[in-house]
Amino acid sequence: MTRHFWVLALLLVGRLAHAQTCNPACASQPPQCCGVAPPPPILAEQCTGATSDVVHFVLPGTGTGWVDLRTPALFSVAGLSGTTTLGDVMPVTFQFTIGTSSASARFQVLEGTTRNIIGQCVTTGGNRYTGLPPLISAQGRALQVTGRNPLWCRYTPTATGTTTDILCFGVKGQVGAPFVAQELCDPDRVEYACGVVVP
């Protein structure tokens, strides 16, 4: 790692410590300020090996994978606003407004237990952010976050029947092993950090 990266990390830790200060009112505060823990971080691990032609990414935190199959999108998130949280040691909750939503799904969401397609991911663009962190810590990794063209994935697990929306950002930094064991593929790097969307 370069010295610039670690200087940025130290500055960010100070910024996050200040940014996560809780006010008496819960409105517009990070979830942990109100005694509500944010969902655990979700990292998308890129697949390698024989199955990577079918399953391109796995998301161990969700029990899903992404199949590289482009089809017309079944939803649009253009213009939607909300919050999401990235990181686990010092989670950062931030606001966003989506600009554009692709009319074509980039990935299909595959449920690991049933092997059924349960959703899609679309590329977004022209988004606006308030408080998007440039650096996060997730699962013991220091990761640089890019806000450029993140993926919005919408899926409905068979067991719960509840639709989940996640926003996934490309990451760089400590993206190598170790990985979470998966039956869907043999991962070789972390490509995205995702947060559950709260409208």
Share the mean pLDDT of the chain: 83
Give the pLDDT score at 54: 82
Would you list the DSSP string of 14-73?
HHHHHHTPPPSS-TTS-GGGGT-PPPPPEEEEEEESGGGGTEEEEETTTTEEEE---EE-
11 in any annotated domain? no
Q: In this structure, which amino acid lies at residue 99?
A: G
130 in any annotated domain? yes
165 in any annotated domain? yes
Per the model's pLDDT, the better-predicted residue between 3 and 114 turns out to be 114
159 in any annotated domain? yes
122 in any annotated domain? yes
- Segment 13-23, tens digit of pLDDT: 344 333 444 55
Give the pLDDT score at 10: 35
- Segment 144-173, tens digit of pLDDT: 998 888 999 999 999 999 999 999 999 999
Whole-structure pTM value: 0.81
Per the model's pLDDT, the better-predicted residue between 88 and 127 turns out to be 127
72 in any annotated domain? yes
> Could you tell me how far CA 80 lies from the centroid of its own chain?
17
71 in any annotated domain? yes
Give the pLDDT score at 109: 97
32 in any annotated domain? no
Q: Quote the number of domains for the chain.
A: 1
**Can you give the residue range of the structural domain that contains 118?**
38-196
